[in-house]
Amino acid sequence: MEEIKKQFSDKALKDFKLIDKAVGVGDEQAFAELMERYKRPVYHMILKMIRNTDDAEDLTIEAFAKAFKNLHKFKKDYTFSTWLFRIATNNTIDFIRKKKLNTFSLNTSFTDDGGEAVTIDVEDKNRNPQDEAINTQKKELVQMFVSKLPPKYQRLVRLRYFDELSYDEIAKTLEAPLGTVKAQLHRARELMYDLVKDKKKHI
């Protein structure tokens, strides 16, 4: 433990304790606190990469869902923030490749707990069968949460996440005002954040 204390900041050590609680006994508050600590930094990093607030919100949810599902695999060889940002970055890059967006350099970086700049190098390559498998897993993960939403939000979320329609396209499909669609999807996102935090009942 002394060696860990020398290597990591107080913030990182606090994260380790929260992870132990979350994984060990399924402590809902530990999941919630981890999300509270990193939701804004993850969102802002993704927003810098894709420059679209709606997509950044969606990708933030996906990043936390994937991280929490795999939290039992986390090893304390590096900080939780490094691991989480890598998951969020790779998930966003997958999104960018799929959408063929040309919005940022594939070499990205963020500031770690100790104030150090951490660079994440990602090989620029075309989508391959492994990418497709990851995308399928991601949809399965989101599907798990969608089924727990109130019925009025389920169709909206499926159109957004599975059919991958834009907000305008969803409004036309549902013959609903664009403002209504945005407001309802915002509320659906908040509910999904709550479901992601409340992991032990869902995964």
In this prediction, residues 160-166 reach a mean pLDDT of 80
Rg, C-alpha atoms of the chain: 18
pLDDT tens sequence across 63-110? 998 899 899 999 888 899 999 999 999 999 988 887 765 444 444 455
Q: What is the mean pLDDT of the chain?
A: 78
Closest residue by Cα to residue 125 from 106, 99, 101: 106
* Distance separating alpha carbons of residues 37 and 60, to the nearest angstrom: 13
Residue pair 52/19 in contact (Cβ under 8 Å)? The answer is no
In this prediction, residues 121-143 reach a mean pLDDT of 54
Which of residues 15 and 118 earns the better pLDDT score?
Answer: 15
Whole-model pTM: value is 0.65
pLDDT tens sequence across 15-47? 999 999 999 888 888 999 999 999 999 999 999
Report the length, in residues, of the chain: 203
Task: Pull the structure tokens for residue 20.
Answer: 């132990």
pLDDT tens sequence across 50-73? 888 888 988 999 899 889 989 999
How many CB atoms within 10 Å of residue 96?
18
* Distance separating alpha carbons of residues 161 and 56, to the nearest angstrom: 13
**CB within 8 A of 41, min separation 6: which ones?**
81, 85, 110
